[in-house]
Amino acid sequence: MASGIFAILDDIAALMDDVATMSKVAAKKTAGILGDDLAVNAEKASGFVSSREIPVLWAITKGSLLNKLIILPIAFLLSAFLPIAITIILLLGGCYLGFEGAEKIFHYFVPHHGDSKKEELKQVETKEEILALEKERVKSAILTDFILSVEIVIITLGTVVGEPILEQIIVVSIIAIIATIGVYGIVALIVRMDEAGYALIESSDKESGLKFNLGKFLVAALPKVIKGLTFIGTIALILVSGGIFVHNVEFIHHLIPEAIPSIIAEFVVGLIFGFAAFLVVQLFLKLKKSFTN
């Protein structure tokens, strides 16, 4: 009896060890998307008056949790009964991530002077208009989160395909929880940086002390942190996109010379597919516009 219990405990320990190893690998592969998710949501949750930032972020977080509850069961069913669908969705997601990265790069060099979030916030005046804008921003953030969540789940599943279904469920669920709690927890800290800074400035006795200077630093750092995250997220999107194609398409994998470092190869492949997708989308939008006019 005792030996049976020890055998079960040994099996559980072995399972958790495998889960920890696979979770670590999956976390590395999804880090790029998590970085972009962080940048996107930090931008969407910032810019409101102080009292509305956390409620807006909480609404996005609840939407993100609902997204995961919808995506996870479908992903597990596909993995169990139609595993080829995982690879197909992975490649489609690679095109989307490459497109997102290419679009951001394009708009960096060719700025788009449309209505910015800050301009939108300045234009609204009444409480009803502010709440309507909040609702719109929350819906936009949840939609973006849904797409990124699909990619996080599929990429994670791609690292554990072939493993027992129990291990797949545990690993993917762990990454999904980290993707929600981790990302939105950090976003909450980021969007409150300026408030913490203002509090330090107000509580400081003189304008040259440590608290005052730290407060000024936090206030000035917020926009730079969001810009930095956006830059890092863009590079990460291209790398993740390229990595998907390099590791899942044999032709592309064998086409790349071994002398080229993998990170450069994946970045170049991601750029190629990203800008190809971007050009296709732009062509489609132009054709659609010409037919509607």
Mean pLDDT by 10 residues, the chain (293 residues): 46 50 58 65 64 79 89 85 82 86 88 53 60 78 79 78 76 82 81 80 76 83 79 81 85 85 90 94 88 76
Residue 192 DSSP one-character state: T
Closest CA to 186 of 49, 45, 23, 69: 45
Residue 210 CA to chain centroid, in angstroms? 35
Residue 84: domain span: 2-292
d(CA 46, CA 31): 22
Rounded to an integer, what distance in angstroms lies between the CA atom of residue 213 and that of residue 209? 6
For the CA atoms of 171, 242, 223, 145, the dihedral, rounded to the nearest 10 degrees, stands at -50
Question: How many domains, in total, are found in the chain?
Answer: 1
- In this prediction, residue 278 carries a pLDDT of 94
Distance (Å, whole) CA 99 – CA 84: 23
| Core vs surface per residue 211-227: b (16+ CB within 10 A) or e | ebeebbebbeebeebbe
Give CA–CA dist 189/169, Å, rounded.
30
**The predicted structure's pLDDT at residue 123:** 55
What is the rounded distance in angstroms from the CA atom of residue 281 to the CA atom of residue 102? Answer: 11
In single-letter form, the type of residue at position 155 comes to I
What pLDDT is recorded for position 8? Answer: 45
Q: How many residues does the chain have?
A: 293
Gap between the Cα atoms of 187 and 2, Å rounded: 48
Are 178 and 27 contacting, i.e. CB atoms less than 8 angstroms apart? yes
Among residues 179, 156, 151, the alpha carbon closest in space to that of 167 is found at: 156
Task: At 167, list the tokens.
Answer: 């291990």
pLDDT digits (tens, 9 = 90+) for 6-47: 444 444 444 455 555 555 555 566 666 666 667 666 666 665
- CB-based contact 56:48 (threshold 8 Å): yes
pLDDT at residue 228, rounded to an integer: 81
Q: How far apart are the first and last CA of the chain?
A: 79
Q: What is residue 270's predicted lDDT score, i.e. its pLDDT?
A: 92
Q: Residue 212: CB partners within 8 Å, gap ≥ 6?
A: 200, 201, 204, 206
Residue type, 99: F
- Picking from 172, 170, 147, the residue whose alpha carbon sits closest to that of residue 157 is 172
Helix axis angle, 262-292 relative to 83-109, nearest 10°?
A: 80
